Structure 1
Amino acid sequence: MEATDVWTLASSALVLIMTPGLALFYGGLVRVRSVVNMMLFSVSAMGVVGVLWILFGYSMSYFADGESGFAGSPFKEFGLLATDPADFIGIGFGAVFAMITTALISGAIADRVGLGSWVLFSGVWATLVYFPVAAWVWGGGWISQLGTWLGTPEVIDLAGGTAIHINAGAAALALAIVAGKRRGFGPGSHKPHSVPLVTIGAALLWFGWIGFNAGLATEVGEAGLILVNTLGAPAAGIIGWIVTDVIRGRKPGVIGAASGAIAGLVAITPAAANLSPLWALLLGLIAGAACAVAIDLKYRLGYDDSLDVVGLHLVAGVIGTLYLGFFAFEDGLFVGGNGGLLLVQAISVFGVMIYSFVVSLIIALVVKMLTGLRVPTQVEEEGIDTFAHGEEAYDYLPDSGATEAVAGPIRSGSAEPVGAGR
């Protein structure tokens, strides 16, 4: 086995842990009575998308010789029955990307959508949106060929600025619009219940992101550059977010710092192999500041993106992908004086954003027609976890024979969560 294969295998494990990390991150951000539901959305995405990837998702995600059009044929390697075993490591690496991308969307609909509706949406969305877009970007599709067609540098998207973050962010916006607002929606109305869970989740995401960005690196120098940029951009994102909060007269907090790190990670995803570390720091700083402002737009524009998938992933994904057009090695406008890269980066950004939003909107409307999408009002008000899943995130009752109640993040008998605002 080649050393690069070993590294890709290890990176697949790193990326796999990101989806449970996302479950913790999202679970800490919601109210205490919907933690199980929110975490189950991420876990169920792993199940649904993992199965679909093996059945036909991998086949759809690339164009074989002689293939063209919307996506690869879903039947050419159906069930991976005729696949060369030498390809399995790469196939597994692609599978964990598909899982985390789909799971990202779920943060937009926290507290109000049933599991069945989400499972139906996630399976159809992966089939009609993620698998084709992955083929466009990495599988020989139209985005990967833009540079050849236009006589410009090729589109740069190392690990998914378009295919993952813009794709999921646009889908989250469409799904949030169709789902409608939570009851009592407004600034400060739905506070995170657990700062520690958010911190642990963010740490696991950052940990796994090294494999996410560097999993296909083939040279030591390339891997090292990706590693440094994957450390530097989110570090600068933390600073950008906190400074922005202080300038706006807000108290700095761990939730903001964790969100700033995620913003920096998202922004560096397409760019980690094509920026000098100095420009990566600037990118992280810009992304952290921009996303800190962007998450408040939902209150002005009137859409309820519960956990700021749009404000983090769509916004930072757009920033990071377009930023390459200015600062990428050799071809960036400010580095090499070539405007062609900026052109193709912009085309890829808006192409994926529009396609994902429109198709996701249609899928969400069909799911709403079939299932109703939202849980009943009583269930939303009293908590999805107990009604829909028969589980609670925390047991506040003492064990048999115990003399003292178990401590928890909320007072016994109280439904008021303790945590920072978002």
Structure 2
Amino acid sequence: MSPAVPLTELRQLLPPGPLLLAYSGGLDSRVLLAWLVALRDAYPGYSLRAVHVHHGLSPNADAWATHCQQLCDAHAVPLEVVRLRLTCGPRQSLEAVARQARYGALAARLAPGERLLTAHHQDDQLETLLLALKRGAGPRGLAAMGLRQAFAGGELIRPLLSHGRAELAAWANAAGLSWIEDESNADLGFDRNFLRHAIVPPLQARWPGFTQAASRSARLCAEQEALAEEIARADLALCRGDGASLALAPLASLSEPRRHNLLRHWLRQQTGTVPSEVQLRSIWPQLVQAQADAMPALQWAGGTLYRFAEALHQVARQGVLSPGTVSLTRDGLCRLPAELGWAGLRMCDRGELRLPSGSESVSLRWGLPGSTRLRPVGRGGSRPLKKLWQELGVAPWLRGRWPVLYYGEVPVAIAGKLVCEAGAPRPGEARAELIWVPPAA
């Protein structure tokens, strides 16, 4: 007699609808396939299909794909085999690259309204928790894997998370199932395999309830992380500056732990990641507590943090843009380097510029030295560009990319900001306007 399938548990977890199984063909996903087929056959409203990711790392990978296809065909489960080509860059682990590629393939194939199911179980949860400890993770990392989470515009669910590997193996053997044994699972060079074979068994032998206790700890960390996120969202509403910046005054009123919590939340929203603990603790003293006339910046993997106009700004990593010049026509738009957009000079009765004379060349220049002097209209004297950027409120990360209009060798305007005496029209003179369309526009 085949062992019972926990249909009540599955129905509570999975409402009727389309299901997509990430099917490796190993023990865990083989059990989940059997359970889902039983669920589909016992109750109306469920549909099931599967995806097998062929990483191409094992000489047996083709045979595994054939095995999966045959089993799915036998159960009338449509299967898609996705073949990947993996490339490891410097300081990248094959485990991490394969995982990222696998989830990318699954995300691309998840249909609207479909739920993705993976066969992670309680022992996988323990390994994930131990790997997070190795990295020095906080509550978010120690929460390990959730039972369900948002994924690719849909939902990812792990129905086996309350079941241990030994329990699943016993069920599979009693049901007479066959499955794939991946030879790489015995390679202790992989961190997860090292934990699985060398670390976890002694822990479980010493403390038989260790795996279950670790799962409880992960759930508690997930609960604390959810609370921290809730607080961060409320704090972000109070500290939001112009655009996506953080205003310093309300930020300063928060306690240090609460401020760090908000910074993590804000930066994760902006970049999808967070700085290291050392970098996070450097933000306040290096940026906020720097001298008032300083323009401090903190570089990290997600880009650069700036303090500007009494706010913190996160700026994505920018390519190097050398100082340059481009000639403009006297009528019509001209493409600038990709980082600068489009620009042009055109006649306009209400324009603030004079038309250039026939002998004057027209150009846009960027990356000018801060010592370059301009004489704005009505100022009675020249000012260095560095001071003008500050007066005009141009952010430090934009200054090297902000165009200045020249007639010949004389600066006549800063795009969208001011006109110089040398570019001002005299009464009765024909007028022009400078049009600049930055990339964001």
Whether TM-score is above 0.5 comes out as: no
Using structure 2 for the length normalisation, give the TM-score.
0.21
The one of the two structures with greater contact order (alpha-carbon pairs below 8 A, sep at least 6) is 1
Name whichever structure is richer in strand by fraction: 2
Between Structure 1 and Structure 2, whose CA radius of gyration is higher? 2
Using structure 1 for the length normalisation, give the TM-score.
0.22
